[in-house]
Amino acid sequence: MLSWMRKNLLRRETRRWVDEGLVEPFQAERILSRYGTSLNDAGPSALGLLTGLAGLFAGLALLLLVSANWEQLPRLARFAGLVTLTAVLNGWGVLRLARVGGGGGLLFLGGFAYGASIMLTGQMYHLGEHFPNGLLLWALGLVPLTVLSTGRLLALQGLAVAVAWMLLEYRFAAPWLMPLFLAVAFWVARRRRVAGLALAALAATAVWLNLMLAWVYATDFGPQAQEGMISFNLGLLVLAGALAARPGWWNAGVGNWMPRLTVLAILPFTFVDGWEHYLAYAWTWLDPGLWAALVALLAAALLGRPLVALAVAVLLIAVHTGGVPDQALVWAVAANLLLLLLAMHWMRRGLLDGEGGLYVTGLIAILTLALLRYLDLIGGYLGAAGLFLVMAALLFVAGRYWRRREVDS
């Protein structure tokens, strides 16, 4: 499935062919229908995005006005004004929604006015207590209106506020209410087919799962980040890959990010130090991170990535049961070669599919790898030289192999 930007380019090009008489309109329609678009489809417009950003800026201005704590107006008058503004904006938004199916921008601004009212109440009564509760009230208050209006901007605002609450709250308590906000965001993303919102909700889910795992590792000093979380995130990465490979309106957003996420996930493992820490602290079979990773890998296998999921599961089990810090160099070399092979694969696919982003990701991954290994001298001067020679051989052989396949085809 082509991205909306590529569809737009294809539509524009096809219209030009029709105008120049190269193809008949019915032929152009048949070509475009193969890619899920049509000559009459409207092109993308920046209006929605810019209006949303304008709403965001207006909302931030409102929050800063309240923060300014200006004394010219009595606080009660300011509070009454903000509550009235909230009611008017939301009422107007609902009216527009009921009449013409619009009003998303007004509800978005109404959400900001509601948040500003909570903020002003905290200010009026000098509520120093646990201010994440204010963010929680804000996010909770947006839930019913978001569900009923399915407003994209309102859903984004609710998710952003909920994520802020989650990040501030988790040090004091596990953020158990987060699934409610995630469910609302996913529901709106699905109903309105907004890939960006789905991607944001997926990212927030990954962060939430990590924070909950930190609470599984908690001690008397609160939640703890442990090495087992690395195992879990590898499992999540494979799960994200499985989701991205499935057809659907939402996977374009995830798919574009997968190679970059994979580079970020593997890069720390290309260092010997990283492996020494990981192998020293990953707790055998008892590690909750291992079990959480295996659950994520099982989900990935069920979603269509059984081989990758199995390979990563075997790797994690090997690390958690037989891994010792003395093996760090071997594991690091393997990670370097794995990243090189993946990067070559992305460059090749980028060239074949015309995916510039994929090609550049592969190229940058290889160059980054070269720079890092040149600087950190993995295995000393001779070891690093050996690794560079192996990588050079791999690149050369892959280049020759692909060239021969191109000639054959």
Of the listed pieces 33-41, 217-225, 287-295, 336-344, which binds another protein according to CB under 8 A?
Answer: 217-225
Nearest distance, CB of residue 98 and another protein, angstroms = 6
Q: Which of 25, 91, 179, 322 binds another protein (CB under 8 A)?
A: 91
CA pair distance 55, 88, nearest whole angstrom: 16
Say which amino acid occupies 300.
Answer: A
| Overall size of the chain counted in residues | 409
Alpha helices in 152-194 (DSSP H): 152-169, 178-192
Nearer to another protein, 117 or 336 (CB): 117
- Under the criterion CB under 8 A, does residue 67 sit at the interface with another protein? yes
DSSP for 191-203, written as a single string: HHT-HHHHHHHHH
Say which amino acid occupies 346.
Answer: W
How many angstroms separate the first and last alpha carbons of the chain?
Answer: 25
Contact 266, 339 (CB under 8 A): yes
- Under the criterion CB under 8 A, does residue 119 sit at the interface with another protein? yes
Q: Which of 37, 117, 157, 361 binds another protein (CB under 8 A)?
A: 117
Nearest distance, CB of residue 212 and another protein, angstroms = 16
Q: What character string, x for contact with another protein (CB under 8 A) and - otherwise, covers 130-169?
A: xx--xx-x--xx--xx-xxx--------------------
Report the interhelical angle of 132-149 vs 104-124 (nearest 10°).
Answer: 160
- Under the criterion CB under 8 A, does residue 97 sit at the interface with another protein? yes
Nearest distance, CB of residue 58 and another protein, angstroms = 18
Which residue in this structure is represented by tokens 């699905």? 190
Q: Which of 28, 32, 62, 66 binds another protein (CB under 8 A)?
A: 66
- Under the criterion CB under 8 A, does residue 270 sit at the interface with another protein? no
Residue environment code for 365-382, b if the CB has 16+ CB neighbours within 10 A, otherwise e? bbeebeeebeeeebbeee
Residues pairing with 219 in the sheet:
222
Binders of another protein: how many residues, by CB under 8 A? Answer: 47
Q: Which of 58, 94, 267, 395 binds another protein (CB under 8 A)?
A: 94
- Under the criterion CB under 8 A, does residue 90 sit at the interface with another protein? yes
- Under the criterion CB under 8 A, does residue 127 sit at the interface with another protein? yes
CA pair distance 121, 224, nearest whole angstrom: 34
Of the listed pieces 90-98, 175-183, 206-214, 300-308, which binds another protein according to CB under 8 A?
Answer: 90-98
| Structure tokens belonging to residue 240 | 């994200």
Nearer to another protein, 218 or 311 (CB): 218
- Under the criterion CB under 8 A, does residue 219 sit at the interface with another protein? no
Nearer to another protein, 136 or 319 (CB): 136
Alpha helices in 126-151 (DSSP H): 132-149
Of the listed pieces 81-89, 209-217, 269-277, 361-369, which binds another protein according to CB under 8 A?
Answer: 81-89
Q: How many CA atoms lie within 13 A of 130 on its CB side?
A: 10
Nearest distance, CB of residue 185 and another protein, angstroms = 17
* Closest CA relative to residue 337, chosen from 292, 298, 389: 389
CA pair distance 337, 70, nearest whole angstrom: 60
Which phi and psi angles does 222 have, rounded to 5°? 105, -170
Of the listed pieces 51-59, 84-92, 187-195, 390-398, which binds another protein according to CB under 8 A?
Answer: 84-92
- Under the criterion CB under 8 A, does residue 224 sit at the interface with another protein? no
- Under the criterion CB under 8 A, does residue 34 sit at the interface with another protein? no
- Under the criterion CB under 8 A, does residue 98 sit at the interface with another protein? yes
Say which amino acid occupies 182.
Answer: L
Contact 137, 184 (CB under 8 A): no
Q: Which residues bind another protein (CB under 8 A)?
A: 63, 66-71, 79, 83, 86-87, 90-91, 94, 97-98, 110, 114, 117-119, 121-131, 134-135, 137, 140-141, 144-145, 147-149, 172-173, 220-222
